[in-house]
């Protein structure tokens, strides 16, 4: 909400009383928690008729510094005419910003103009296409983590690093700077492993299988994951169906020490906080440059204390990476930066032609994961096989396991029930939510999308299937999403169900139905038309 030129119809305005300066010359205002979710952006609200606003020359969308209780928060200023949002003697803060000060509503606070970021000159140089030094990237990452950049400045940095591609040393400098701007965990273990996928494949919940498998073997695997931003579910969203994922850092550390693993949301740990800020800008712009991808992933892994990583790069016509040459270039960049950071990395190129598993959306994906762990007859074979192969590669980081033996060990851990036992222990430790995969709490409304003619499935559009699941309400509505009935190469007859769509609200049903009617995401053709992709497994 930015400054308005006139009052809303029917809004009664009263003049603001003059404000009194404190002994230190600053004007104390009462803090107010404004119930607006501003998605990782700190926002402050002042009334336009507040004497302070007029006297100090504040301007809407400028950066300000709010102080209270010995703490401070940097925020973007919004100006309002509506006293129902903030009164003339109040300073409002968005929910996340308010929580950072740790005070009750009504607590006195002061506001002043924020100093410009010290790295602003370096930002201008990068916009001009110049190469930056290590010190300049560190300064930029620090200012981003401290919320000193406005959304416009953040967007300029993201676009500049996308348009004038960073060289590999600059990517290393940026990654190093992002690590230095947050805290870094130390597990005091010789071997700390992790697995990550670059994303873009719906239903690809292999992490929730890999983690309990490798932890059951005894390896330390502190998995901190993100929530979905533009996808139907992230690992944290799906795990949240089973257990709590927003864990204080102290509790997260206790769980890892007791159980050798965790499956938690990384936002509470302040690991590479600059990355969290950048992601909120990159995703709406649909920009995911190799440089930003490498810096984002590796900074989070190093900050989480991992020193061995298996990285999944899916390749397919509607995946993030569309060709093998592109995948190989990205692999080499990951390997260079990882080597400079002292991480052992195993980059695996996988099949990204279609979604992995059957369900797309938090509840549906949690159902698939638990069925695989339970060795259920309806467990998705592709999800099981991919998870076993990735877990096998990660197990082979253990010097006591010979190369090539990891897959068999992973399979034995899964088939014996040890992986399920470990997962149940993690769920209990993190705070179980009582999920039953056979009575999954799916959204109330359902409709089917059917095959228009006889043939075989020759294509599944990852992007369109993900879009339909999101329009149905996922991930905000955990039980919403898409349940796939057919995969690539499978024969269909006209009228056969390709997938079910679940939605909680009638409006979401219509949004998803209209999108699937325009483009179902499925292509039906002849067997020889199924696209081939050359991957490592």
Residue 287's pLDDT band (boundaries 50, 70, 90)? Answer: confident
What is the reported pLDDT for 3?
43
Active site residue: 194, 288, 368, 398, which one?
Answer: 288
What is the reported pLDDT for 26?
60
Name the CATH architecture for the domain at 445-529: Alpha-Beta Complex (3.90)
SS3 225: strand
Residue 206 has pLDDT above 70, yes or no: yes
Per-residue pLDDT reduced to its tens digit, 40-67: 789 999 998 887 777 677 888 889 999 9
Higher per-residue pLDDT: 483 or 286:
483
Please give the Cα distance from 309 to 322 (Å, whole number). Answer: 23
Percent of the chain with pLDDT over 70: 94
Per-residue pLDDT reduced to its tens digit, 131-148: 999 999 999 999 999 989
How far lies 61's CA from each of 46, 91, 135, 277, in Å? 11, 15, 28, 17
3-state secondary structure 299-342: HHHHHCCCCEEEEEEEECCCCCECCHHHHHHHHHHHHHHHHHHC
Instruction: For residue 155, give the H/E element and its range.
Output: helix 151-163
Please give the Cα distance from 282 to 278 (Å, whole number). Answer: 6
Please give the Cα distance from 204 to 466 (Å, whole number). Answer: 12
Residue 378 has pLDDT above 90, yes or no: yes
SS3 212: helix
Residue 163's pLDDT band (boundaries 50, 70, 90)? Answer: confident
Residue 38's pLDDT band (boundaries 50, 70, 90)? Answer: confident
Across 374-390, average pLDDT: 98
* Domain regions of the chain by residue span: 29-113, 193-430, 445-529
Residue with tokens 């024969």: 491
SS3 489: coil
Least confident of 6-20, 104-118, 273-287: 6-20
What is the reported pLDDT for 17?
61
Residue 281 has pLDDT above 70, yes or no: yes
Residue 421's pLDDT band (boundaries 50, 70, 90)? Answer: very high
What is the reported pLDDT for 280?
78
For the chain, what is the mean pLDDT?
91
What is the reported pLDDT for 2?
43
What is the reported pLDDT for 22?
53
What is the reported pLDDT for 20?
59
CB atoms near residue 11 (< 10 Å): 12
What is the reported pLDDT for 312?
97
Instruction: For residue 217, give the H/E element and its range.
Output: helix 207-217
Residue 151's pLDDT band (boundaries 50, 70, 90)? Answer: confident
DSSP 8-state code for residue 243: B
Per-residue pLDDT reduced to its tens digit, 62-113: 899 999 989 999 999 999 999 999 999 999 999 989 998 999 999 999 999 9
Residue 203 neighbours by CB under 8 Å, 6+ apart: 355, 356, 357, 358, 359, 360, 364, 365, 368, 383, 484
Residue 180's pLDDT band (boundaries 50, 70, 90)? Answer: very high
Residue 440 has pLDDT above 60, yes or no: yes
- The CATH number of 193-430 is 3.40.1030.10
- The CATH number of 29-113 is 2.40.40.20
Residue 283's pLDDT band (boundaries 50, 70, 90)? Answer: confident
CB atoms near residue 124 (< 10 Å): 13
Residue 281 neighbours by CB under 8 Å, 6+ apart: 151, 154, 155, 158
Edge-first strand listing for the sheet containing 491-492: 491-492, 455-460, 522-525
- Give the chain's count of helices (H) and strands (E): 18, 18
The question of whether 37 is a catalytic residue gets the answer: no
Per-residue pLDDT reduced to its tens digit, 458-512: 999 999 999 999 999 999 999 999 999 999 999 999 999 999 999 999 999 999 9
What is the reported pLDDT for 276?
84
Structure tokens belonging to residue 49: 């008729």
């Amino acid at each position: 909400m930015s400054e308005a030129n006139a009052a809303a119809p029917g809004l009664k305005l009263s003049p603001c009383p003059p404000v009194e300066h404190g002994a230190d010359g600053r004007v104390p205002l009462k803090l107010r928690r404004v119930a607006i979710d501003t998605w990782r952006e700190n926002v402050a609200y002042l009334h336009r008729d507040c004497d302070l606003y007029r006297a100090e020359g504040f301007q809407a969308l400028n950066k300000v510094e709010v102080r209270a209780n010995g703490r401070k928060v940097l925020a973007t200023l919004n100006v309002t005419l509506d006293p129902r949002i903030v009164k003339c003697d109040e300073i409002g803060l968005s929910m996340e910003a308010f929580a950072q000060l740790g005070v009750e509503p009504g607590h006195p606070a002061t506001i002043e103009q924020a100093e410009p970021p010290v790295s602003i000159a370096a930002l201008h140089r990068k916009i001009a296409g110049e190469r930056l030094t290590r010190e300049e990237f560190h300064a930029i990452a620090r200012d981003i983590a401290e919320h000193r950049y406005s959304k416009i400045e953040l967007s300029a940095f993201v676009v500049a690093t996308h348009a004038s591609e960073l060289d590999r040393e600059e990517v290393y400098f940026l990654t190093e700077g992002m690590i230095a701007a947050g805290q870094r965990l130390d597990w005091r273990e010789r071997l700390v492993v992790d697995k990550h996928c670059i994303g873009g494949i719906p239903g690809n919940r292999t992490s929730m299988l890999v983690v309990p498998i490798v932890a059951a073997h005894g390896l330390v695997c502190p998995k901190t994951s993100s929530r979905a931003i533009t996808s139907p579910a992230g690992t944290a969203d799906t795990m949240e169906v089973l257990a709590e994922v927003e864990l204080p850092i102290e509790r997260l550390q206790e769980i890892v020490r007791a159980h050798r693993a965790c499956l938690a949301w990384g936002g509470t740990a302040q690991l590479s906080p600059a990355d969290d800020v950048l992601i909120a800008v990159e995703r709406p712009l649909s920009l995911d440059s190799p440089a930003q991808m490498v810096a984002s992933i590796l900074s989070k892994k190093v900050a989480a204390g991992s020193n061995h990583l298996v990285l999944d790069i899916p390749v397919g016509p509607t995946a993030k990476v569309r060709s093998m040459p592109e995948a190989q270039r990205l692999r080499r960049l990951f390997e260079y930066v990882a080597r400079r950071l002292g991480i052992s990395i195993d980059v695996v190129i996988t099949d990204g032609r279609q979604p992995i598993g059957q369900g797309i959306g938090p509840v549906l994906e949690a159902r698939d994961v638990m069925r695989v762990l339970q060795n259920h007859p309806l467990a998705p074979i592709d999800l099981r096989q991919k998870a076993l192969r990735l877990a096998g590669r990660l197990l082979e980081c253990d010097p006591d396991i010979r190369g090539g033996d990891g897959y068999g060990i992973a399979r034995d851990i899964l088939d014996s029930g040890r992986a399920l036992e470990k997962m149940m222990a993690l769920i209990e430790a993190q705070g179980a939510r009582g999920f039953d995969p056979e009575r999954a709490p799916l959204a109330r409304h359902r409709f089917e999308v059917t095959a228009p003619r006889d043939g075989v499935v020759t294509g599944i559009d990852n992007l369109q299937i993900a879009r339909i699941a999101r329009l149905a309400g996922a991930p905000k509505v955990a039980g919403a999403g898409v349940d796939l009935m057919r995969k690539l190469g499978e024969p269909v007859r006209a009228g056969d169900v390709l997938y079910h769509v679940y939605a909680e609200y009638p409006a979401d049903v219509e949004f998803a139905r209209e999108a699937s009617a325009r483009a179902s995401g499925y292509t039906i053709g002849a067997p020889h038309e199924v696209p081939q992709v050359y991957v490592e497994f």
